Chain A
Amino acid sequence: MFLPTFISNAEFQSARVRPRVFFYNGLVETTPYNVSGLNFLAGDSATTTQETTYPYVDHYTTGSVSTEFPDAGSDSLLFFNEEPVYGQTPTGSLYTEYWSKYIGLLYEPKTRLIDCSAVIPFADYVQIQLNDIIEWRGNHYHLRAVNKYNLKNGECQLELLGPILEGALDNQFTDL
């Protein structure tokens, strides 16, 4: 049995901890233990049962194939996957699944940030989304920012980032 434990010292005094999130992975067999409480149906009498399973919570989901323990394909709540208490260490962490592509773009030596001025009519401005791919002089860029957009005359400052990420054009078909 492996449990989240929130104590302030080795004497097991309770601790005020920051928010904790877990995956609930169902019941797992363990050495029998006692659970005791009042039973409404039994006239509020107390019952003690020996449970042979316990609710298993972990930083990882159960496996991508049918298993009750994590495997290589499990989801993780950690930026770096520590050794699991059961099963295998998942290959994907929060960093590899959600951040590495973004950081790869940011730190790619070829990536350039371009600051330039533009005049965009309001009717076009309101349709621009920040995930639009900007095509300019034959190159594609991510749109980082539209700053100081003047509602009077459409003048603004643009920040463009390129080259674009692989796959960024996969769903692209519309043009202004």
Chain B
Amino acid sequence: MSVVSGRSAVFKLIARGTTLDQYDDEDIFLSNNVTGLFDIGELPSDFTRQITLPGTKRNNDFFEHVYDIMVDEPYLFKTNEKVIAQFDFDGFYVAQGYMQLENVVVKENKFIDSYTVSIFGLLSSFARDLSSTYLTDLEVLGKYNHTASIDIIKETWLGDATTNPDMVTNSGSFAVGDIVYPIVDSGQGWVYQSATTANNFAINTTDANPLNVTGGSVNVIDFKPMLKTKRVVEAIFSQSQYTFESDFFEQDLFDSQYMLCDNGNKFAQYGGLDMNTEGLIVIQPISGSSVPNELLTAGASSSLDFENVISDPSLKMNGSNYKMTDNMGITGTTFSSPVEMEIFLNFIVTGSDSSVSIPELYIKPRNTGGTDAATVPLNFINDQIRRRLQGKAGTGEEEFEIEQKFSVNLKRDAEYDFEIYFEYQTGTTGAFVIIGPGGNAESTLKVNKLNYLADFRTMNVPLNMPFATKGITTLSWLQGIQKKYNLQIYPSKTKPRHFIIKQFNEWYKEGRTVSFDRYIDLNKKIKVTPANNLGVKNLEFGDTLDLDFISQNFNRTNNREYSKTYYTDTTNFFSQGSFKVETTFSSSPLRYIGGSGAIGTGAGTTGTPFYGYPGSTQSQACAGNPAFQYYHDGVGTDPVSGDRIFYNAIMTIPVTGIPWLAVDNAGYDVLKITSASGVVILVSFCDTGGGGPTS
């Protein structure tokens, strides 16, 4: 037998439940290290050893006919599969993990001389298992799959104190509180109406036909769930068929800590249907065919006829017609859903009339087989037309390139031809609209979001686990948790495939005092090293700097990474170098949602928005240049003398560098900015009789 020590009979190498025969003279060494005391944040390897086993009948039976290439399955020992193995001493797993067959030595081409195998300790096995599994591979997280609906999402906001726990638990097979749906911004650009630039969806719009914004709301499709962090830890151990014990994860700290299930797309993944492609299209006109498209008669609609399909991953286009998806999460043929769209129009307004006529444009989604959807006025575009033409002596010819978002209500499975027509804002004749003048084919129509596409679908949690740019292995994720909390992770000596996880501050106090006076060999040299000689000069603690805009912008603006901290060894003259304790996770500032917070305990102090025309002189401010949104700290709707003017809603950036500002109100008040802190005085008025600013 290989490992003797006077007790050779009780040492066993057990692989897949078979006790293998060993040579008597094999030396076996074990090592046991504290988790990364000097290799901070590293999981140590505990035991890796290559040993030779004799070609006995028992071993031959175990390894089957691995040496014989003539023997095929099912009798051949599979060298590509790991073999669970352990060294056992009276029930103590002195080394447990798995075994790999390296080679076989054969005598006379018929007798087995020996087998060379490598034994990997449990930590090594654990690390290897976890390094080949990604978070998105954690099928055991499928138990958290559930039906998503707006009611269930709102119930999860109540955490453990949900008022309707059955609604949550019936949607899946997990405990109330394991899943919470936050509101995150993965590209939606959430903003309130008061803070948005014109032409944007605002989440508080109630007006069905507002001037500058189309109705916006947060829908099921916009949400991404969060799963309790400790459930992910459990899943990693469970999927790899290990177990663990840890009082640390049972603390209150982990009752409210969650990981966001965000795989990086704008919308979450639902089983069987990709919300990021289904029903989404980008189309353009074809020069000479679709454009120029002359709209000569008010009220007469004409197909946009955008036949150049730039993007249509779910095959919804039929020529220039759009087929609304039938893939909704509910049944019912009469069902319709709001659809968020965006149009970029290149057009001219032309007319020879002597008094200006100002057209306004409408989109008409014509149902080719049924009742048309409601027409949508392109309010933002129409407002820009008015601003440009207002006050002119005649219509003349004006070219526009304007983008507008809008929402339409489309019926499932119906096919729509998007038509466009114009009416007159002022005047009744003499002005026409030409889409794509001269064959310009830059106009674009997009479907950006089908608002109810995700309702009542199954939220697939494993599919939505973080992926970053190239996948997150379960090992690196667990190391991230280990580094955040300075955890000691070590194998149990009495329970196979079992780990103990403790936090360092608790762990180091839980041992016994052991006298080593009788063990330490004083006849051999003892080396004493100042510990800080082994340390580096600079230690850096933090999450990994992410590639997203908010993280990078914070880094650029502040010349440091968000939440990083640094330890510098000032006591040791000789220390040098640096080391990063960097987790797999990232963190970045939360973003203030413009226009929010004016009400409630969560209110930040926000200014009152208004539009103003800036100018370096009073007359320039009144000249009708483009207006921009500003905020003032006064109590009225418009700023008055003594108020301060800011660029941002939370009023941290005062307006400086602009001496004059004409307010976009009835009288076009002219303000002079008198200090670097944005204080204004009311000086004059631009307007002498209506219309826009005029000098």
Which A residues fall within an 8 A CB radius of B? 1-10, 12-41, 44, 46-48, 50-59, 61, 68, 75, 77-82, 85-86, 93-95, 98-99, 101-103, 105-109, 111-120, 122, 124, 126, 128-137, 140, 142-154, 158, 161, 165, 167-176
Contact = CB atoms under 8 A, between A and B. Distances in A.
B226 A172 contact: no
A27 B155 CA distance: 11
B330 A44 contact: yes
A7 B529 contact: no
A171 B204 CA distance: 58
Nearest to B44: A145
A19 B586 contact: yes
Nearest to B180: A24
A4 B592 contact: no
B511 A12 contact: no
Most buried by A among B192, B485, B531, B592: B531
B151 interface: yes
A18 B466 contact: yes
A147 B31 contact: yes
B30 to A, nearest CB: 4
17 contacts: A6-B186, A8-B548, A14-B186, A14-B187, A16-B469, A17-B262, A17-B264, A17-B546, A18-B466, A18-B472, A19-B135, A19-B480, A25-B256, A33-B218, A57-B182, A58-B590, A94-B485
A33 B106 CA distance: 77
Contact of A107 (B451, B484, B535): B535
A51 B548 CA distance: 29
B159 interface: yes
B512 interface: yes
A120 B159 contact: no
B376 interface: no
B468 A16 contact: yes
B602 A132 contact: no
Nearest to A56: B602
B680 interface: no
A174 B220 contact: no
Contact of B547 (A8, A32, A48, A78): A8
Contacts of B559: none
A23 to B, nearest CB: 5
Contacts of A34: 203-206, 215-218
A135 B564 CA distance: 38
B682 interface: no
Interface of B, helix, strand, loop or mixed by DSSP: loop
Nearest to B147: A40
A61 B255 CA distance: 11
B549 A9 contact: yes
Contacts of B569: 107
B165 to A, nearest CB: 16
Most buried by A among B92, B183, B535, B588: B183
Contacts of B490: 130
B28 interface: yes
B32 A17 contact: no
A4 B592 CA distance: 9
Interface in B496-520: 503-505, 507-517, 519-520
Nearest to A164: B508
A15 B550 CA distance: 10
B495 to A, nearest CB: 14
Given A34-B216, A94-B485, A57 B549 contact: no
Nearest to B467: A16
Contacts of B516: 118, 134-136, 158
Nearest to B472: A19
B63 interface: no
A151 B149 contact: no
Contacts of B599: 29-32, 52
Interface stretch (B33-41, B238-246, B354-362, B378-386): B33-41
B565 A79 contact: yes
A95 to B, nearest CB: 5
Interface string B426-469: 00000000000000000000000001100110000000001111
Contacts of A5: 184-185, 550, 588, 590-591
Nearest to A150: B29
Contact of B521 (A36, A117, A137, A167): A117
Nearest to B47: A149
B347 interface: no
What 9 A-B pairs are tightest by C-beta distance, nearest first?
A: A29-B600, A37-B150, A16-B264, A34-B217, A131-B511, A14-B187, A1-B596, A80-B565, A78-B563
Given A22-B260, A107-B569, A109-B532, A33 B548 contact: no
A37 B220 contact: yes
A28 B452 CA distance: 26
A18 B546 contact: yes
Contact of A114 (B513, B527, B534, B589): B527
A165 B543 contact: no
A22 to B, nearest CB: 6
A27 to B, nearest CB: 6
A55 B180 contact: yes
B185 A135 contact: no
A120 to B, nearest CB: 5
B34 A145 contact: yes
A165 B572 CA distance: 20
B655 interface: no
Given A3-B182, A114-B527, 18 more contacts: A4-B591, A15-B549, A20-B262, A21-B259, A30-B596, A44-B331, A46-B452, A47-B150, A52-B599, A58-B590, A59-B587, A93-B565, A106-B532, A116-B520, A122-B5, A129-B512, A137-B517, A149-B29
Contacts of B190: 1, 3
A120 B519 contact: yes
B70 interface: no
A86 B643 CA distance: 26
B218 A77 contact: no
B335 interface: yes
Contacts of B263: 16
A131 B485 CA distance: 17
B593 A106 contact: no
Contact of B511 (A18, A111, A147, A172): A172
B33 A145 contact: yes
Given A48-B217, A106-B38, A153-B5, A131 B586 contact: no
Contacts of B186: 6-7, 14-15
A170 B513 contact: no
